[in-house]
């Protein structure tokens, strides 16, 4: 909101060809008086628009009011101003998301139909986002899946609101398969129950009750348990066997979450790593190396970049250190490139006539180890513990210094 106010103030400033008009003065006064309060901003900007319905900065003001409505969880204003914002910027994902949800919350057939349209467009915008690759890919993909699943969930609710439970069931099923969560399982169960398929509905209410979902609160779980009991009794005339159904739901949903995590880990194996030896780094040809596979060896990481002049000076010194320990299979020196553009690395190595053996991309390891200076050398002992860190280097002493630190790590590991 502070950023939004700054943009609004900037728009006021750009419109002020001295002397400022009365309208510009009134708008500046409203923004200044609101301070950081989105509630006060709403009150003051609405009063301003009442006085100036065709204000020069109308679009910026409506966007500010839509964002304030979202921040304040004010569904009426979120819908009112958000719909106006979407006429100018129809692909705004945040506004599409919140407007669709507000329309569903406010209810009514007309709002449900608008919510379906907005949710459908929200889904299309998310689906057009670039593929998640590289560092942070798993988080990007998870957010993308959640966005699509949420869009499908809104569409399902919109169809339920107009009585089309068959389509609502299909959309809820798609939402759950895209990103299994408590809300979509409940919506799926509710749509099936409305169609009279109580046995199937009970399965999905059991899923809603048992699925690991940090966004589901105690009140949500209580509601799921209540609905599960009601639907199960309607199907079986008692709750006998319900405990077994709940256990089956636990196994079923746990397997779904595990499978989802495996797919995300395949995109970014370092997403949830908490130890440097847990990192997986990739070589020039895409081969993966798990640093944990080097357990029992002293591991030396040389962080460098193609643009780094001192790295070029240091490189032959590394070769000298490698030569000193080439007869030991318990000493491993890895060259860790930190360039953002991976495509320039292999040509650079060819040009410099440097070896491509054991050259890897940092894949998030640089940030994890807080390597802020290039070159940096880090030594791990045989237990995977940090044994030494050298930020930069002294040209006349580097070979001896690093050699001594490697020997020290070897001795401490015995």
Same domain, 280 and 394: yes
Structural domain includes residue 335 = yes
Structural domain includes residue 159 = yes
Mean pLDDT value across residues 306-323: 93
Q: Which of 92, 139, 136, 138 is nearest to 118 (CA)?
A: 92
Structural domain includes residue 303 = yes
Structural domain includes residue 343 = yes
Domain boundary among 221, 247, 272: 272
| Catalytic residue flag (residue 181) | no
Structural domain includes residue 255 = yes
Cβ neighbour number for residue 1 with a 10 Å cutoff: 15
Q: The domain spanning residue 397 has which CATH number?
A: 3.40.30.10
Same domain, 247 and 289: no
Domain carrying residue 190 = 130-141+151-272
Structural domains in the chain (count): 2
Mean pLDDT value across residues 19-23: 81
Q: Which of 46, 48, 42, 59 is nearest to 8 (CA)?
A: 59
- Residue 117 pLDDT greater than 60, yes or no: yes
Same domain, 180 and 220: yes
Same domain, 135 and 228: yes
Same domain, 194 and 327: no
d(CA 51, CA 300): 69
Same domain, 260 and 360: no
Peptide bond into 19 cis (omega under 30): yes
> pLDDT category, 21, cuts 50, 70, 90?
confident
d(CA 288, CA 273): 15
Cβ neighbour number for residue 383 with a 10 Å cutoff: 12
Same domain, 252 and 216: yes
Catalytic residue, chosen from 242, 246, 308, 349, is: 308
Strands 359-361, 331-337: parallel, antiparallel or unpaired by DSSP? parallel
Same domain, 287 and 194: no
Structural domain includes residue 212 = yes
Q: Which residue has the higher pLDDT, 267 or 301?
A: 301
224-263 pLDDT, tens per residue? 999 999 999 988 888 899 999 999 999 999 999 999 888 8
Same domain, 307 and 400: yes
Q: What are the φ and ψ backbone dihedral angles of 215, each rounded to 5 degrees?
A: -85, -10
| Catalytic residue flag (residue 308) | yes
Same domain, 206 and 322: no
Domain boundary among 249, 272, 295: 272
pTM of the model: 0.73
- The answer to which of 74-88, 102-116, 187-201, 265-279 has the lowest mean pLDDT is 265-279
CA 25 to chain CA centroid, nearest Å: 41
- Give percent above pLDDT 70 in the chain: 94
Structural domain includes residue 24 = no
- Residue 17 pLDDT greater than 60, yes or no: no
- Give percent above pLDDT 90 in the chain: 71
Same domain, 231 and 343: no
Whole-number pLDDT of residue 213 = 87
Structural domain includes residue 33 = no
Q: Which residues contact 316 (CB under 8 A, 6 or more apart)?
A: none
Catalytic residue, chosen from 181, 311, 333, 402, is: 311
Same domain, 244 and 308: no
Domain boundary among 272, 300, 328: 272
Q: The domain spanning residue 238 has which CATH number?
A: 1.25.40.10
């Amino acid at each position: 909101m502070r950023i939004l106010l700054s943009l609004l103030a900037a728009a006021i400033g750009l419109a002020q060809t001295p002397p400022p008009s009365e309208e510009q003065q009134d708008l500046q006064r409203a923004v200044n008086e609101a301070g950081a309060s989105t509630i006060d901003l709403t009150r003051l900007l609405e009063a301003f628009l009442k006085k100036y319905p065709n204000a020069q900065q109308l679009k910026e003001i409506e966007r500010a009011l839509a964002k304030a409505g979202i921040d304040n969880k004010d569904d009426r204003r979120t819908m009112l101003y958000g719909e106006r914002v979407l006429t100018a910027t129809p692909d705004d994902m945040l506004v599409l998301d919140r407007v669709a949800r507000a329309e569903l919350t406010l209810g009514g057939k007309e709002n449900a139909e608008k919510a379906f349209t907005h949710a459908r467009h929200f889904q299309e915008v998310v689906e057009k986002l670039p593929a998640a690759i590289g560092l942070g890919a798993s988080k990007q993909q998870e957010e993308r899946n959640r966005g699509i699943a949420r869009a499908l969930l809104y569409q399902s609710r919109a169809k339920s609101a107009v009585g089309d439970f068959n389509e609502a069931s299909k959309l809820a099923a798609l939402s759950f398969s895209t990103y299994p969560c408590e809300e979509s399982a409940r919506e799926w169960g509710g749509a099936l129950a409305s169609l009279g398929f109580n046995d199937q509905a009970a399965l999905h209410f059991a899923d809603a009750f048992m699925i690991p979902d940090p966004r589901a609160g105690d009140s949500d779980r209580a509601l799921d348990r209540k609905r599960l009991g009601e639907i199960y009794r309607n199907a079986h005339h008692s709750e006998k066997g319900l405990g077994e159904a709940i256990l089956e739901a636990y196994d079923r949903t746990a397997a779904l979450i595990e499978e989802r995590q495996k797919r995300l880990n395949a995109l970014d194996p370092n997403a949830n790593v908490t130890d440097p030896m847990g990192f997986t780094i990739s070589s020039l040809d895409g081969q993966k190396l798990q640093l944990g596979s080097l357990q029992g060896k002293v591991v030396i990481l040389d962080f460098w970049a193609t643009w780094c002049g001192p790295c070029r000076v240091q490189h032959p010194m590394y070769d000298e250190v490698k030569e000193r320990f080439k007869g030991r299979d318990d000493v491993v020196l890895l060259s860790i490139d930190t360039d953002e553009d991976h495509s320039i690395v292999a040509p650079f190595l060819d040009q410099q006539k440097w070896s491509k053996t054991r050259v890897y991309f940092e894949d998030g390891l640089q940030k994890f180890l807080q390597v802020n200076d290039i070159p940096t050398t880090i030594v791990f002992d045989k237990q995977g513990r940090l044994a030494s860190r050298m930020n930069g280097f002294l040209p006349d002493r580097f070979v001896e210094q690093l050699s001594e630190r490697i020997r020290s790590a070897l001795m401490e590991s015995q």
